[in-house]
Chains A and B, each alone.
Chain A
Amino acid sequence: SQQGEEDPQALSIQEGENATMNCSYKTSINNLQWYRQNSGRGLVHLILIRSNEREKHSGRLRVTLDTSKKSSSLLITASRAADTASYFCATDVPNAGGTSYGKLTFGQGTILTVHP
């Protein structure tokens, strides 16, 4: 079953604009990760944010996490045509001992199209 839900399902923007994708989840988490997938390929890890963090940056990526609302957002600034891909959030749920299972549950993804 899917733990996370991404919003919007599809996003179409022009090169140079910013893209924001949102993810909501249902249960407590140890961390939340964002992955990217180009058509017909495997997923590539982008960024990980732990449950005690509120914001994280990596290059043109900015991720926020609000554990009270059980939601996260991924911002891609100054988008490029090469950013066209599907983006997935994935949650790592703690086991009974409070540590990580290491097994991720993925959302349905946001399809991002960046027009040159």
Chain B
Amino acid sequence: DTGVSQDPRHKITKRGQNVTFRCDPISEHNRLYWYRQTLGQGPEFLTYFQNEAQLEKSRLLSDRFSAERPKGSFSTLEIQRTEQGDSAMYLCASSLVRTGGEPLHFGNGTRLTVT
């Protein structure tokens, strides 16, 4: 169990640029989640996958955000035409769902700063 890894750890970009983040979950985990966290707040759900299928996307997520999980392994989160309001910590988590109610294992996140 090498844990959930996220890359990069930090990203600084100019407004209007596109950015892509990668998440490698724990290898046997079938669920993968993306959350966003701003300073002083709890993580906010963005989207999640069961294997390669995207099960739900938050209504708060604009069309500028897209996520993929090809072949049910790693996942990427892309933000197009970044805005200053996109500055946040983007957290990835994975879990092995059997009967439901299993805990999430989080990566250390990617901190995005949009200037």
B-binding residues in A (CB < 8 A): 2, 4, 30-31, 33, 35, 40-45, 48, 50, 88, 90, 92, 99-109
Decide if A100 touches B109 in the complex (CB within 8 Å): no
A43 — which chain B residues lie within 8 A by C-beta? 43, 91, 93, 104, 106
Secondary structure at the A interface, as helix, strand, loop or mixed, is strand
Contact status of A106 and B42, CB under 8 A, knowing A42-B107, A43-B91:
yes
Give chain A residues whose Cβ lies under 8 Å from the Cβ of B102: 102
| Separation of A30 and B99 alpha carbons in the complex (Å) | 11
Contact status A30-B106, CB under 8 Å: no
Q: How far is the CA of A51 from the CA of B31 in the complex (A)?
A: 22
| Residue from B103, B109, B111 having most chain A Cβ neighbours under 10 A | B103
Say whether, besides A42-B109, A45-B104, A102 and B41 are in contact (CB < 8 Å). Answer: no
Contact residue among B4, B45, B100 (Cβ-Cβ distance under 8 Å from A30)? B100
Q: Are A44's CB and B106's CB within 8 A?
A: yes
Given contacts A40-B111, A102-B102, A109-B41, 17 further A-B contacts (CB under 8 A): A40-B108, A41-B108, A42-B91, A42-B93, A42-B107, A42-B108, A42-B109, A45-B104, A48-B103, A50-B101, A100-B100, A102-B31, A103-B33, A103-B48, A104-B45, A104-B104, A109-B42
